[in-house]
Amino acid sequence: MIINATASAKPVELLEALRGERVEAAVLQRTMIVTGASSGIGAALATQAAAANFAVLLVARRAERLAQIAQSIRAAGGTCEVLVADVLAAEAPTRIVETALRAFGRIDILVNNAGTGAPGTLLEQSDAAIAMQWELHVAAPLRITRAALPHVRAVTGGVAFVGSGLARVPAPGFGAYCVAKAGVRAAAAQLRRELRREGIAVSYIDPGAVDTEFSEASGMQRSSGGFAARPERVAANILRGLERRRARINAVPWQTAFVALAELLPALADAAMSRIVDAPAPPAQAPAPAPGPAPSPAAAPEPVPELQAADEFERALAPVARRMERVKLSPDFLRAALVPETTVTLHDLAMRWAGMPNKNERAAMHEVLDALAVAGYLSPNGDETWLVVRGAGEQR
């Protein structure tokens, strides 16, 4: 707003003009939505964006973490709101967009950052594990982007997707994760070209190897020796790229250069990946039976429904099996908890299992419940609440 002050202008008129300018400036404050904002890159990006005068909506599942980050942002003079939500929930896109509009009135930048890995070789991972990785990293961000797009379009804003170097150089033992991140990379390029004429910036972010809890939670070895970048540094480079509306944001350029080199030298990349990533060991093979006459087809036993149901339940938990082992969460506890047509909550289950669960135990329980939801045992029924659709001993 331009104010033309003349000698004849009355003080009251000037005051009203200045008030109007301040109101307009407040209305025009840039806004950003960050999913997966309770830790790591998401938390660092939300904090730095707020310091750069963005009004930020922090979206994640862990209410306590979000509250702590929001308190820190507000104490530093920043503007933010929090939304406790699981991006996989059917109502998540609508809730995210409505919360942002109610709080800030506009959406300038959407950063699809939420995600986690699932260990397992590609062909040994269950359908549920593969589906969850695709839903979390590709389908859910696209649904959220679809819901936010009219409002991003209104301000000629931008959308960003957080990918991974593993999209270009896959790692052994994380099959579904690598495939999903390759899908993220392709989706970002596709949207960038489809929305280019509208002036909407679509950014693909390669964060590099970052020193966060993500690797440990996903079953990877946490990088050491200075290889992993600090999340604050990564967030600063991401924020700079978003403000400059870059199509590709390489948060740690030297790591991206190594990834490009690995693409050119696949044999060396294969050897390097086997050292960086702790791939799950293949299942033990039963000893081959002694030679003998082949059994008659008529003598083959009929499949036992109870065993089939048990196998199906174990396959549903396969993506989080290692996580369960680390926190000593027994499948038998979960079997007993799955009473059809009852409601389970993260808080109640975690309390029954661990007494006073710590943050790591709560996060592990949430991942397990998400896996059971993808497999069709549970149905999301609100924040950290699920309806039990079928018991562990029931087949589809």
pLDDT at 266: 67
161/101 same-domain check: yes
204 and 72 together in one domain: yes
Tens place of pLDDT per residue across the chain (396 aa): 333 433 444 444 544 544 444 434 445 689 999 999 998 899 999 999 999 999 999 999 889 999 999 999 999 999 999 999 999 999 999 999 999 999 999 999 999 999 888 778 888 888 888 888 999 999 999 999 999 999 999 999 999 999 987 867 777 788 899 999 999 999 999 999 999 999 999 999 988 765 555 544 444 544 444 566 788 889 999 999 999 999 999 866 655 555 656 556 666 666 666 665 544 444 444 444 444 444 444 444 444 444 455 567 888 888 888 888 888 888 878 888 888 878 888 888 887 787 667 878 888 888 888 888 888 888 887 778 888 888 876 655
- Residue 119 has what pLDDT? 79
The pLDDT value recorded for residue 386 is: 84
* Residue after which a domain boundary falls, among 231, 262, 293: 262
> What domain range includes position 92?
26-262
Whether 203 and 309 map to the same domain: the answer is no
Residue 225, in any domain of the structure: yes
pLDDT at site 180: 93
Q: Which residues contact 329 (CB under 8 A, 6 or more apart)?
A: 323, 353, 361, 364, 365, 368
pLDDT at 20: 47
- The answer on 246 and 334 residing in a single domain is no
Residues 65, 162 share a domain: yes
Tell me, what's the pLDDT at 314?
83
Give the end of a domain, one of 262, 286, 321.
262
pLDDT (0 to 100) of residue 121: 86
232 phi and psi, to 5 degrees?
Answer: -65, -40
Specify the long-range contacts of residues 213-218, CB closer than 8 Å, at least 24 apart.
213/39, 213/40, 214/40, 214/116, 214/117, 215/117, 217/116, 217/117, 217/323, 217/363, 217/367, 218/116, 218/117, 218/118, 218/119, 218/174, 218/177
Do 222 and 347 lie in a common domain? Answer: no
pLDDT reported for residue 318: 85
**177 carries an active-site annotation:** yes
Whether 178 and 57 map to the same domain: the answer is yes
Tell me whether residue 21 is in a domain.
no
CA distance 275 to 327: 25
Question: Is the distance from CB of 384 to CB of 347 less than 8 angstroms?
Answer: yes
Is there a domain that residue 20 lies in? no
Instruction: Dig out the tokens for 95 from the structure.
Output: 């809730």
d(CA 294, CA 307): 24
Find out whether 353 and 345 touch, Cβ atoms under 8 Å: no
User: Considering the domain boundaries, does residue 184 fall inside one?
Assistant: yes
Catalytic residue chosen out of the listed positions 54, 177, 204, 313: 177
Number of structural domains found in the chain: 2
Same domain, 200 and 89: yes
- DSSP code of 237? H
